[in-house]
């Protein structure tokens, strides 16, 4: 099972200047609950934006650089290699971004755990379009804004209904 985990605004925006676009602690908690204990695959830029390995998860980072090394993570040269390693560790594998890696992995994914943040904001990285011929929304929970989470959001689960597209 390959699951993409993403938080996107109304226009599918996910990042700007190698940063996230909002601070929603409830979403970070949700992300932790979903991914904890499983391997997580990410692009080198996302890893650098987080700045350290995510605890209690095997961090698999994709990079073409030969001279790049960081402690506490597994560095691989392609998405294919990342998936191969992750599948050896666990049946459940999470791809956690960013835009470049989501784009390449969407067609291999079985599930998308999407946090839809109710905002339209300037961005330079986007999640790809979720094709309704391929994906069906199977779960949705509304999370209203509060004093610590300034934006309304929805926790949504999409499952693949079409394996040929
Ligand atoms: N809202 C969210 O849910 C979410 C989640 C994650 C990230 N983000 C945001 O997304 C942005 C980062 O995304 P991004 O698209 O710029 O970068 P990215 O996907 O995180 O990383 C891109 C890098 O990954 C490596 N890479 C990607 N595909 C590869 C392949 N097939 N083979 C080998 N290496 C490969 C390359 O690293 P090298 O250059 O080292 O070769 C490439 O430069 C940030 O703003 C971040 O905050 C948002």
CATH code assigned at 85: 3.40.430.10
Kindly state whether residue 34 falls inside one of the protein's structural domains.
yes
Please check whether residue 65 lies inside any domain of the structure. Answer: yes
Residue at 38 is within a domain:
yes
Structural domain range at position 48: 2-160
Distance 101 CA to ligand 1 centre (A): 6
Convert 112-152 into a string of H (helix), E (strand) and C (coil): EEEEEECCCCCCCEECCCCCCCCEEEEEEEEECCCCCCCCC
How many CA within 13 A on the CB side of residue 113?
18
Contact 125, 69 (CB under 8 A): no
30 in ligand 1 pocket by Cβ < 6 Å? Answer: no
Does ligand 1 come within 6 angstroms of the Cβ of 14? yes
Does a structural domain hold residue 165?
Answer: no
Q: Is 121 close to ligand 1, i.e. is its CB under 6 Å away? A: no
The HSE-up count of residue 38 (CA atoms within 13 Å, CB side) is: 22
32 Cα: distance to centroid of ligand 1 (angstroms): 19
Q: How many structural domains compose the chain?
A: 1
Cβ distance 117 to 151 under 8 Å? yes
Cβ of residue 49 lying under 6 Å from some atom of ligand 1:
yes
Nearest-CA residue for ligand 1 atom 22 is 43
CA dihedral 153, 154, 155, 159 (to 10 degrees): -140
What pLDDT does residue 97 have? 97
Residue 25 lies in a domain: yes
Q: What per-residue confidence (pLDDT) applies to 42?
A: 98
Q: Whole-angstrom Cα distance, residue 106 to residue 160?
A: 10
Distance 147 CA to ligand 1 centre (A): 31
What integer pLDDT is reported at residue 163 of this predicted model? 75
User: What pLDDT was estimated at residue 165?
Assistant: 65
- The tens place of each residue's pLDDT in the chain, 165 residues long, gives 999 999 999 999 999 999 999 999 999 999 999 999 999 999 999 999 999 999 999 999 999 999 999 999 999 999 999 999 999 999 999 999 999 999 999 999 999 999 999 999 999 999 999 999 999 999 999 999 999 999 999 999 999 998 776
> Cβ(62) to ligand 1 under 6 A?
yes
């Amino acid at each position: 099972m390959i699951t993409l985990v993403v938080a996107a605004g109304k226009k599918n925006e996910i990042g700007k200047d190698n940063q996230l676009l909002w601070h929603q602690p409830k979403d970070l908690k949700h992300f932790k609950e979903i991914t904890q204990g499983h391997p997580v695959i990410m692009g080198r830029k996302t890893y650098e934006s987080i700045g350290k390995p995510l605890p209690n998860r095997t961090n698999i980072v994709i990079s073409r650089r030969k001279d790049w090394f960081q402690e506490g993570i597994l560095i691989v040269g392609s998405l294919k290699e990342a998936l191969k390693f992750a599948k050896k560790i666990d049946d459940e594998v999470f791809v956690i971004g960013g835009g470049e890696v989501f784009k390449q992995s969407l067609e291999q994914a079985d599930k998308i755990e999407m946090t839809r943040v109710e905002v339209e904001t300037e961005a330079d990285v986007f999640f790809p379009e979720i094709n309704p011929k391929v994906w069906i929304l199977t779960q949705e929970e509304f999370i209203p804004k509060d004093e610590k989470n300034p934006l309304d959001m929805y926790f949504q689960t999409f499952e693949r209904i079409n394996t040929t597209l």
